[in-house]
Amino acid sequence: MQTITVDSKEQGAEEICNIVRGELEAGRLHVLGLATGSTMEPVYEKMVSSNLDFSDVTAFNLDEYIGIPADHENSYAYYMKKHLFSKKPFKQTYIENGMAEDLDAECVRYETLLKENPLDIQFLGIGENGHIAFNEPGTSPESVTHVVELTQSTIDVNSQYFSEDETMPTTALTMGISSIMQAKKLIVAAFGEKKRAALEKLYAGEISTEWPVTYLLDHPDVTVITDQKF
């Protein structure tokens, strides 16, 4: 595991773009796994204002809420369109369909697509409780794309994005730990004191189901980009 320590989210975004540029120029980036959330916003801003060309790159997103449509402003499909896809063309973009009638079939469909399009790079943020994608504490390392019940911690953190008269979904679809670990290269971004506890678990070097981020210790190519000093 490699760590790049930065002074700010913006500098972190710059570092991520540099890695992406290197992989694109080396001809190694055909499929890019994306994340949502506040951590990724400066990254997409930098990607948009750069001259990077993603028109030959297929994108996959990690997760999506169940029960809100793609045009709802809190859906992750909407987030991706707003921050990246409406401004940078990609060859193809995929995200789980949280409105699918048969959610189990949707998980199988998504996992099959991932198998057909192996991830070259996967971006990851970290939840305060150590989740990666929506793989909450207790998730099996063998998990593939699945339906998840969000923990109270995740609901508390993410409900800030929903207005008072809206109820935040408590279930989601997410790529599993095993789906994420298939990616050739993982780029983990975590900024601010609130992510410190999860990062401490990662740097402690012991894999624990209670802190899903620690599963990354088993991956051969992980770069952590953080403003926290250890």
Query: Residue 123: beta bridge partners?
Result: 187
226 binds ligand F6R per the rule CB under 6 A: no
Query: CB neighbours of 213 closer than 8 A, spacing ≥ 6?
Result: 126, 130, 131, 132, 188, 198, 199, 201, 202
Question: Shortest Cβ contact with ligand F6R: which residue?
Answer: 125
3-state SS, residue 82: helix
Q: Is 227 a catalytic residue?
A: no
| Residue 5 to residue 224: CA distance in whole angstroms | 8
| Residue 125 to residue 45: CA distance in whole angstroms | 16
Q: Which residue number, 88 or 212, has a Cβ lying nearer to ligand F6R? A: 212
Residues 134-193 that bind ligand F6R (CB under 6 A): none
77 binds ligand F6R per the rule CB under 6 A: no
Q: Is 63 a catalytic residue?
A: yes
Q: Which residue number, 24 or 187, has a Cβ lying nearer to ligand F6R? A: 187
The tokens for 60 are: 């996959």
**Which member of 63, 64, 96, 106 is catalytic?**
63
Q: Is 72 a catalytic residue?
A: no
Binding piece for ligand F6R, criterion CB under 6 A, among 49-57, 128-136, 140-148, 204-212? 128-136
Q: Please select the residue that binds ligand F6R; options are 13, 68, 132, 198, rule is CB under 6 A.
A: 132
**CA separation, residue 59 to residues 10, 188, 203, 225 (Å):** 22, 17, 29, 21
**Which member of 61, 106, 136, 158 is catalytic?**
136
Q: Which residue number, 25 or 48, has a Cβ lying nearer to ligand F6R? A: 48
- Which residues of this chain interact with ligand F6R, rule CB under 6 A? 35-39, 62-63, 125-127, 131-133
